[in-house]
Amino acid sequence: MRILQIIDSLHPGGAERMAVQIANALTEKVELSALCCTREEGVLKEQLDNEVAYRFANRKGRIGISGIARMHKFVQNLKITHIHAHGTSCYTAFLLKILNPHLKLIWHDHYGNAEMLDQRPTRLLRIMAKKMDAIIVVNEQLERWARQLKPKGNVFFLANFSVKDSIFPETEDRIPGNHSQRVVCLANLRPQKNHPMLLEVWRDIVSLHPDWSLLLVGMDFQDQYSQNLQKFITQNQLQDRVFMLGTRTDVADILKQCQIGVLSSKSEGLPLSLLEYGNAGLPVVATNVGACKQVIGDDGFIAELESPSVFKKYLLDLINDPALRSEIGLKFQKRIEKKYSQQPYLTTLSQIYSSL
Question: Is residue 150 located within the same domain as residue 191?
Answer: no
Q: Is residue 170 part of a domain?
A: no
The pLDDT value given to residue 76: 98
Residue 117 is predicted with a pLDDT of: 84
Considering the domain architecture, whether residues 150 and 237 belong to the same structural domain is answered as no
Give residue 64's domain range: 2-161+341-355
User: 189 and 231: one domain?
Assistant: yes
Number of domains comprising the chain: 2
Does 130 lie in the same domain as 53?
Answer: yes
- Residue 332 identity (one-letter amino acid): F
Q: What is the pLDDT of residue 167?
A: 46
Is 191 part of any domain? yes
Sign, CA torsion 72/73/76/82: negative
Instruction: Report yes or no on 49 lying in a domain.
Output: yes
Residues 146 and 292 grouped into a single domain: no
Q: Residues 157, 186: one domain?
A: no
Residue 284 shares a structural domain with residue 258: yes
What is the value of pTM for the model shown? 0.91
CB of 3 closer than 8 Å to CB of 82 = yes
Q: How many CB atoms lie within 10 A of CB 11?
A: 18
324 occurs within a structural domain: yes
**Interacting residues of 100 by C-beta distance below 8 A, sequence separation 6+:** 72, 75, 76, 80
Are 308 and 193 contained in the same domain?
yes
DSSP code per residue over 12-40: SSHHHHHHHHHHHHHTTTSSEEEEEEEEE
- The pLDDT score that the predictor gives to residue 165 is 63
Is 273 part of any domain?
A: yes
* Residues 321 and 349 placed together within one structural domain of the fold: no
Together in a domain, 7 and 142: yes
Same domain assignment for residues 200 and 275: yes
pLDDT in tens, the chain (356 residues): 999 999 999 999 999 999 999 999 999 999 999 999 999 999 999 999 999 999 999 999 888 899 999 999 999 999 999 999 999 999 999 999 999 999 999 999 999 886 778 888 889 999 999 999 999 999 999 999 999 999 999 999 999 998 876 444 544 567 999 989 999 999 999 999 999 999 999 999 999 999 999 999 999 999 999 999 999 999 999 999 999 999 998 999 999 999 999 999 999 999 999 999 999 999 999 999 999 999 999 999 999 999 999 999 999 999 999 999 999 999 999 999 999 999 999 999 999 999 99
Q: How far apart are CA 346 and CA 354, in angstroms?
A: 12
Residues 316 and 347 in one domain: no
186 phi/psi in degrees, rounded to 5? -95, 95
How high is the pLDDT of residue 337?
Answer: 94
Beta strands in 95-169 (DSSP E): 104-109, 134-137, 154-157
What is the pLDDT at residue 172? 56
Alpha helices in the chain (DSSP H): 14-26, 65-77, 90-99, 123-129, 140-147, 195-208, 224-235, 251-256, 272-279, 292-296, 308-320, 322-339, 342-355
- 3-class SS at 210? coil
d(CA 221, CA 53): 29
> Quick check: is 92 in a domain?
yes
**Structural domain includes residue 175:** no
Domain presence at residue 233: yes
Type of residue numbered 345: Y
The CATH number covering residue 16 comes to 3.40.50.2000
